[in-house]
Amino acid sequence: MSTNQPLVGIIMGSDSDLNIMQGAAEILKEFGIAFELTVVSAHRTPLRMVAYATKASERGLKVIIAGAGGAAHLPGMVASITSLPVIGVPIKSSNSIDGWDSVLSILQMPNGIPVATVALNAAKNAGILAATIIGAFDETVGTKVKAYKNNLEAEVLKKVDKLKTEGWQNNFDN
């Protein structure tokens, strides 16, 4: 599926979240998946959020990645409006309680409104998960995800060999 039509929407509650959310954009670009990226605040622009979530599917999006810090309502509110899968990225923001408020706000969704939740500040993982979802129906993307994971395995096995041949003393700082 080679297209310039965005398949993934990356949204964040504030432009201050961009330094984290760019991880999702970078990995989607690596997989060759078209995406859009914008600010949609659940609290400051609720009508924009509703319009974005309501129109996402008909605009061709297949997955939404929503990052938010603090109270982190954006992923859950978007998931309550759209039928698309929503991946929440909790962000440790300047006003957060060490990020736990964001994690719990996204993780503890009521039954009926699921949000896939990645680790704190783990937008790259959200991008990989979005690619995996798209790869389930797009063979080209699925092949790229498989190659990516195979490469991760190869990197670990190289480290295993290095430890075996050079010993642990030569591989770690003491």
Residue whose C-alpha is closest to residue 134's, from 94, 84, 89 = 84
Q: What is the pLDDT along the chain (174 residues), one digit of tens a residue?
A: 446 899 999 999 999 999 999 999 999 999 999 999 999 999 999 999 999 999 999 999 999 999 999 889 999 999 999 999 999 999 998 887 889 999 999 999 999 999 999 999 999 999 999 999 999 999 999 999 999 999 999 999 999 999 999 888 776 554
CA dihedral 67, 72, 73, 77 (to 10 degrees): 20
- Contacts for 148-154: CB closer than 8 Å, 24+ residues apart: 148/30, 148/31
CA-to-CA dists, residue 111 to 70, 91, 114, angstroms:
22, 23, 7
pTM score over 0.75: yes
H/E segment holding residue 12: strand 8-12
Q: Is 44 annotated as a binding residue?
A: yes
Would the annotation count 59 as a binding residue? Answer: no
* Annotated binding residue 17: yes
Sign of the dihedral through C-alpha 124, 127, 129, 131: negative
Position of tokens 């736990």?
A: 100
Q: Which residue ranges form the domains of the chain, and what is each CATH number?
A: 8-168 (3.40.50.1970)
